[in-house]
Amino acid sequence: MNNSIDESKALAGSLAVQNKEESRVDILVAPPFTSLFAVREAIRNSPIQLGAQNMYHEPKGAFTGEVSPTMLKEAGSSYVIIGHSERRQYFGETNSSVNRKIMATFQYGLQTIFCVGETLEQREAGQTFQVVKEQVWEGLTGVSDKEMWAVTIAYEPVWAIGTGKTATPEQAEEVHRFIRNLIKEMYGDATADSIRILYGGSVNAKNARELLGKSEIDGALVGGTSLKVDDFNEIIRQGIEVS
């Protein structure tokens, strides 16, 4: 929940200008709902893609305060972040509600960035893999092999978000490998090999290269650092160098 419409437009516009010919990596921005249309215009004719931070699973109805998948499409979004840890932590989202949203994205032509990750208490209790397994299995219930092309998974350890703490590259890669093996069990080798698994957890210009250099880490879900165009661009540059 950062940046006014003008601030969002300026940030995205600057990013678009500096990456107008970029084709080596995929770049996506996910501004607040109020800025979606303005940002769509700011990144027009650039390779940068537009996503939203959340949505409700119904297309319309008496759901005051919610935003539907059809509204996101009309505003120009092609992606939506589902199950972010802050949505789970502060707004009571569950694996079941996350699953309903993911299923709705297919119906309305949106691609999903599906977030999973454990809390500090769960990690210290040795529950990381069990928690992530349940989130992946329950979140993808009913998702077909063909629909998985529209799913990107983001591993975001809750204890490393907004705290300044970051999972070591080795810790992150271990969980990414675990997630990829889960996808292999559920959907087979081809889907496991092709799905993108991002790391999100205090990614910044100082640690991005080492994280993105790991073979199991396909990209980054960037938080606060994305609010500074120079730092965001530096992460993009580092991603290109290790890709």
Total residues belonging to the chain:
243
User: Is-catalytic flag, 21?
Assistant: no
Q: Give pLDDT, residue 201.
A: 87
CA 48 distance to own-chain centroid? 15
Among the listed residues 84, 93, 118, 176, the single catalytic one is 84
pLDDT tens, residue by residue, 38-68: 999 999 999 999 999 999 999 999 999 999 9
Supply the pTM of this predicted model.
0.96
Question: Over the stretch 125-172, which tens digit does the pLDDT of each residue have?
Answer: 999 999 999 999 999 999 999 999 999 999 999 888 777 677 899 999
The two tokens of residue 4 are 């006014």
Domain ranges of the chain: 5-242
- Predicted local confidence at residue 243, as pLDDT: 87
* Position 32 pLDDT exceeds 90: yes
pLDDT tens for residues 162-212?
776 778 999 999 999 999 999 999 999 999 999 999 999 889 999 999 999
Catalytic hit among 57, 93, 118, 156:
156
Nearest residue to 30 (alpha-carbon basis) of 48, 57, 47: 48
Distance of alpha carbon 243 from alpha carbon 226, whole angstroms = 20
Q: Which CATH architecture has domain 5-242?
A: Alpha-Beta Barrel (3.20)
Phi and psi, residue 101, nearest 5° = -70, -45
Q: Contact, 84 vs 113, CB < 8 A?
A: no
Render pLDDT for 62-117 as a digit per residue (tens, 0 to 9): 999 999 999 999 999 999 999 999 999 999 999 999 999 999 999 999 999 999 99
Identify whether 176 is a catalytic site residue: no
Distance CA 148, CA 144 (A): 7
Neighbours of 121 (CB within 10 A): 10
Q: Give the residues across from 79 on adjacent strands.
A: 51, 111
Nearest-CA neighbor of 110 among 57, 60, 65, 40?
Answer: 57
Q: β-pairing, 79-82 with 111-116?
A: parallel
